[in-house]
Structure 1
Amino acid sequence: MNRLLTILFAWLLLITSVFAQKNTGVWDVFAFGAKGDGKTMDTRSIQTAIDQCHGAGGGKVYLHNGQFLSGTIYLKSHVTLEVEAGATLLGSNQAADYPDQASEYPTYDENPLTSKSFIYAENARNITIEGRGTIDGRGSEIDKRGLNDPYLRPSFKYRPRIIHLRGCENVQIKGVTLQNSASWVQTYQSCRNLVIDGITVDSRENKDVDNPNREHAVRHRNTDGMDLVDCEFVRVTNCFITSGDDGICIKSFSPDKASRNITITNCLISSGASGIKIGTETAGRFEDIVVQNCTVFDTWGDGLAIMTVDGAQIKRVTISGISLRNIKRAGIFIRLNTRNKKYGNSTVVNKPALQDILITDVQGSRLAALGCSITGLAEYPLENVVLRNLNFEFDGGITDSQPMVVPEKTDAYPVGTMFGQILPAYGFYVRHVKNISFDQVQLRFTNEDQRPALVFDDVDQVVIDHFTAQSSTKTPALIRMLNTRNQLITNSRPSTDIPVFVKN
Structure 2
Amino acid sequence: MGYYFVREYGAAGDGKTNDTAAIQQAIDECHREGGGRVVLSSGTYVTANIEIKSNVELHLEHGATIVASPNPDDYDCTVWGGGRHYLIFSKQAENIAITGSGTIDGNGKSYIETDRGHIYKMKRKRPFTVLLVGSKTITIENIRIVDGAVWTLTLSGCSDVLIRGIRILNDLKVPNSDGIDIDRCQNVRISDCHLECGDDCIVFKATDFLWGKGPCENVTVTGCTMVSNSFAINIGCEVEEPIRNITVNSCVIRDSHRGIGVHLSNHNNVENIMFSNMIIETRYRNPDWWGAAEPIYVVSIPWTDKDKLGHVKHIRFSNILCKSENGIFIQGWEDYTVDDILLDNVRIELDKWTDEAGGRHDIRPCHGGDLDGRSAGVYDYPTNGFFLKDINGTVTLRNCEVVWGEHIPDYYKHALEAHRVQGLDLQNFKGTAAFPARDEAIVRTV
TM over 0.5: yes
Contact 1:43 1:72 in 2 (8 A): yes
Q: Does the 8 A contact of 2:302 with 2:308 survive in 1?
A: no
Query: In the alignment, which residue of structure 2 is the partner of 1:458?
Result: 420
Post-superposition offset of 1:122: 0.9
Answer yes or no: is the 8 Å Cα contact 1:187–1:226 preserved in 2.
Answer: yes
1:432 is displaced (CA, Å) by 2.0
Q: Cα 1:421–1:433, aligned 2, differ >3 Å: closer, same or farther?
A: same
Aligned to 1:175: 142
| Range moving further from structure 2, 449-458 or 176-185 | 449-458
Kindly provide the amino acid, as one letter, of the partner of residue 299 in structure 2: R
- Does structure 1 retain, via aligned residues, the 8 Å contact 2:172–2:228? no
Displacement of 1:82 after TM fit? 0.1
Q: What whole-Å deviation, never above 9, does each CA across 1:164-223 have from its counterpart, x for those lacking one?
A: 0100111111000000111111110010011110000011244xxxxxxxxxxxxx3421
Residue segments in structure 2 that go unaligned for 5+ positions in a row = 285-292, 354-359
Contact 1:284 1:350 in 2 (8 A): no
**Following TM superposition, by how much is the alpha carbon of 1:50 offset from its aligned partner in structure 2, in angstroms?**
0.2
**Paired residue for 1:288?**
245
Aligned counterpart for 1:82 among listed residues 59, 78, 89? 59
The answer as to 2:278 corresponding to 1:325 is: no
Deviation at residue 280 of structure 1 after TM alignment: 1.9
Describe the shift of the 1:98–1:240 C-alpha distance in structure 2 as closer, same or farther (beyond 3 A): same
Corresponding residue of 2:338: 382
Aligned to 1:313: 269
What is the match of residue 444 of structure 1?
403
Q: Once the 2 structures are TM-superposed, how far is the Cα of residue 350 of structure 1 from its aligned partner?
A: 6.3
What CA distance in whole angstroms lies between the structure 2 residues aligned with 1:442 and 1:201? 34
1:424, 1:376 → 2: CA distance?
Answer: 18
1:60 pairs, out of 30, 37, 44, with 37
TM-score, normalised relative to structure 1: 0.77
Name the SS for the 1:331 alignment partner: strand
Residue aligning to 2:388? 429
Q: Residue 275 of structure 1: SS of its match in structure 2?
A: strand
Q: For residue 66 of structure 1, report the CA deviation from its aligned partner.
A: 1.4
Greater CA drift, 192-201 or 443-452? 443-452
Whole-angstrom distance in 1 between the partners of 2:78 and 2:317 = 40
Residues 152 and 55 (structure 1), Cα distance of their counterparts in 2 relative to 1, 3 Å cut: same
TM-score normalised according to structure 2 size:
0.87
Query: CA offsets, 1:461-497, max 9 Å, x none?
Result: 2211111113222114111122xxxxxxxxxxxxxxx
Give the counterpart of 1:334 among 266, 276, 298.
298
Fraction of identical pairs, as percent: 26
- CA spacing shift, 1:424–1:138, aligned 2, 3 Å: closer
The structure 2 residue matched to 1:189, chosen from 156, 176, 182, is 156
Unpaired stretches in structure 1, ≥5 consecutive residues: 1-23, 105-112, 207-219, 343-348, 398-403, 483-504
Provide the residue aligned with 2:255 in structure 1: 298
Contact 2:339 2:391 in 1 (8 A): no
Matches within 5 A, 1:27-66: 27-66=4-43
CA RMSD of aligned residues (A): 2.7
- Counterpart CA distance in 1 for 2:397 and 2:368 is 28
Residue in 2 that maps onto 1:353? 311
Distance across 2 between alignment mates of 1:191 and 1:407: 30
Query: Which letter maps to 2:340?
Result: N
| TM superposition shift of 1:420 | 2.1
> Which letter does structure 2 place at the counterpart of 1:269?
M
Q: What is the distance in 2 between the residues matched to 1:286 and 1:406?
A: 23
Q: Which amino acid aligns with 1:273?
A: S
Matches within 5 A, 1:353-432: 353-365=311-323, 367-369=324-326, 371-395=327-351, 410=367, 412=369, 418=377, 420-423=379-382, 425-432=384-391
C-alpha distance in structure 2 between counterparts of 1:266 and 1:221, whole Å? 26
Match for residue 480 of structure 1?
Answer: 444
Name 1:270's counterpart in structure 2. 227
C-alpha displacement at 1:360, in angstroms? 0.3
Larger radius of gyration: 1
CA shift in 2, pair 1:256/1:456, >3 Å: farther
- Is the Cα contact below 8 Å between 1:391 and 1:441 reproduced in 2? yes
Change (3 A) 1:152 1:312: farther
Partner Cα separation in structure 1 for residue 385 and residue 9 of structure 2: 62
**Structure 2 vs 1, CA of residues 411 and 304 (structure 1 numbering), >3 Å: closer, same or farther?**
farther
SS in structure 2 at match of 1:473: coil
Aligned residues: 416
